[in-house]
Structures are given as C-alpha cells and as structure tokens.
Amino acid sequence: MGEVRTVEDLIVAIDDGYDKQEREGKARCYIGASIVGNPCDAVLSFNMRGFPNNEPSPKLKRIFRLGHILEDEVVKDLKEKADVRVWEKDGFTGRQHSYEQLGGHVVCHMDGHIEMDDGVLRVLEIKSMNNASFNKFVKHGVRKSHPQYFGQVTMMMGMANFTEAMLVAVNKNSSEYHAEIIEFDEIEFNFLRERVDRALQNKTAKVASDEEDWRCRGCFKRGVCWGDTPVPKTCVTCQFSFPTEKGLWHCSKHDEEAEAACADYQRYAPMDKE
C-alpha cells in the first residue's frame, strides 16, 4: 500500500484495502433461495455447481456490509421497540435458521422467525433499499416491485412449511420502515421448483442471447457465462455430472459416482436462449 498524503490517496487506499484483504471466499455450491427468483435459469446451475462470481467492487462490498449492519438494527428495533418475538438464530445450532432439500443441493437461510400478537409464526426477511426501490415496494407490493424477493420468501415458506412470511424493508436514505405480510403461494412455489428441477437435470438455458442484455450486465456469473473466468476443474463443474438426491454427484459419462475430474472433463455450459 502506498503513502496516504491526500484525500484522493485516502480513498484509493481504502478501495485497495478491500481488493487485497477482502477477496470473496469460495463460491457457494448450492441453489439458494435468495437466487431462485432470478429470471435466468442458468444462474441456478452456476450456483449449484460452485462456479465463481465476478469479484464485487469495493463500493459494492460496502453496500453489502451496510446491508448486514442494517439487518441487525432492524432485528433490534423489532424486539426492543416493537416488542415482538423474533428468533434470528436457531435455538439448537446457534446459527441462522436454514433448511435443505435434495441432500443440500437446495438451501435457504432465513433472517429469522417472527411472531406478533396475532400468534402467527412467520418467516422473517429483512431488506435494505435505496429510496427509489423502497418507494416502488411501498406502492406496488413485493410481488410486483421485487419479484426475486417474492420468489425468495416463497421458496423459504415452501421448504420450511410456513404459511406466511413478513418482509421488512428499511429505506437507506430516510430510515423509514415498510413491511408486508406475504401468504404462501403454492403455484409460485411449484413454478420455482420446476426451475430448480431444470438445473438438476442439466436443462437450463441463458435468459438472453446477448451479453449486453440488462439482465446479464449486472449478473455475478457474467464472467463464467459470457467470459473466460477460470473455473476449477472438478466433477461438479463438468458437463457430464448430475446432482443426486443424496447430495452427491453422478457421472453420466462413466455411470459412477463423480469423485475427481478425469480426462473426459468438459466444462459445464448452459444452453443458449432459444
């Protein structure tokens, strides 16, 4: 790190610190509820197979960090100010509430469980939003304003057998709160499960035919989908491997449990948009 003599040097030094010390860890190797509502099926496959993300910019890392801080503050307000019951940790594990399907190929992590005086136990999901996004949520409701969030809570409810969820949003510009109770939609859940099944069967396709499509420009998997970002050579990233219900992988090329990449390895690639 160079000398810090000016305010410009200071900002550069901070960003350099993020780049050098906070590199993203190993990519997740499962389909998470937070991405199951993404409009692109290929993203589900890339996540399930542990393909690396594009490295977020220092600015984006700070946005994510602030979001986590705000989530903790929202939980405090719910418990200490509103005096409602919130369980942000699993009492058995001491960790975030999580649920799995298909041996861990599909996973959801919840911000918590919440119960108001109506006695209904709900999934709790907390989001921080900028002013424009927050106002859109207030005006239209989450299903229309943030379909990916709607898919996320629907997947959570379906996996954990909840009938309702509560999404609490905090406006990062004004600190205003807005909340919505979301009822479980079985039709939506089945639609999401069909998308997951396509990923399990290696039948996913890209959402667009051009990498400049708006849905692709900000995607964390852009580098592995459209570019040449290096990918670990493993059975999981191989075109011939399929996930099993026991959480393992099966090699269709050799009809055996996938354990280590071999000479027949071919990097997995989703189908092109029809």
Q: What is the pLDDT of residues 53-62, one digit of tens each?
A: 988 888 888 8
Which CATH architecture describes the domain 7-257? Answer: Alpha-Beta Complex (3.90)
Q: What are phi and psi of 17, to 5 degrees?
A: -60, -40
pLDDT of residue 82: 96
Residue 166: strand pairing partners? 124, 181
- Quote the pLDDT of residue 18: 76
Task: Note the pLDDT of residue 21.
Answer: 62
pLDDT greater than 90 at residue 216: yes
Q: How confident is the model at residue 74 (pLDDT cuts 50, 70, 90)?
A: very high
CA distances in angstroms from 13 to 7, 22, 55, 63, 65, listed in the order given: 10, 13, 18, 18, 18
Averaged over 238-266, what is the pLDDT? 92
- Spatial contact of 209 and 273, defined as CB atoms under 8 Å apart: yes
Percent of the chain at pLDDT > 90 equals 80
pLDDT beyond 70 at 203 = yes
What dihedral do alpha carbons 149, 223, 71, 109 form, nearest 10°?
60
> Two tokens at 64?
């994510």
Q: What would the two tokens of residue 260 be?
A: 């280590």
Q: What is the average pLDDT across 110-120?
A: 97
Answer whether residue 100 shows pLDDT above 70. yes
What is the separation of C-alpha 180 from the centre of its chain, rounded to a whole number of angstroms?
Answer: 20
Average pLDDT for the chain: 92
Q: What is the mean pLDDT of residues 216-245?
A: 93
From residue 138, alpha-carbon distances to 130, 134, 146, 154, 169 in Å are 12, 6, 11, 19, 9
List Cα–Cα distances, 124 to 56, 112, 272, in angstroms. 27, 5, 36
The pLDDT score that the predictor gives to residue 57 is 85
Q: What is the pLDDT of residue 4?
A: 74
CA 133/CA 87 separation, integer angstroms = 27
**pLDDT of 186 strictly over 90:** yes
The secondary structure of 209-253 as a DSSP string is: SSTTSHHHHT-TTHHHHTS------SSTTBTTEEE-TTS-EEETT
Average pLDDT over residues 232-245: 93
As a whole number, mean pLDDT of residues 75-93 equals 95
Calculate the alpha carbon distances from 101 to 78, 185, 194, 246, 265 in Å: 30, 19, 14, 9, 27
Give residues with Cβ within 8 angstroms of 95, minimum separation 6. Answer: 89
Q: What is the pLDDT of residue 24?
A: 53
Section 91-108 average pLDDT? 92
Counting residues of the chain whose pLDDT is more than 70, the rounded percentage is 97
Q: How far apart are CA 125 and CA 133, in angstroms?
A: 16
* pLDDT for residue 235 is more than 90: yes
Among residues 98, 118, 131, which one has the least CA distance to residue 166? 118
Phi, psi values for residue 47, rounded to 5°: -70, -45
- Tell me the pLDDT tens digit for each residue of 145-185: 999 999 999 999 999 999 999 999 999 999 999 999 999 99
Distance CA 106, CA 44 (A): 10
Query: Contact at 8 Å (CB) between 236 and 84?
Result: no
pLDDT at 9 over 80: no
d(CA 229, CA 154): 32
Q: Determine the average pLDDT of the residues in 117-134.
A: 97
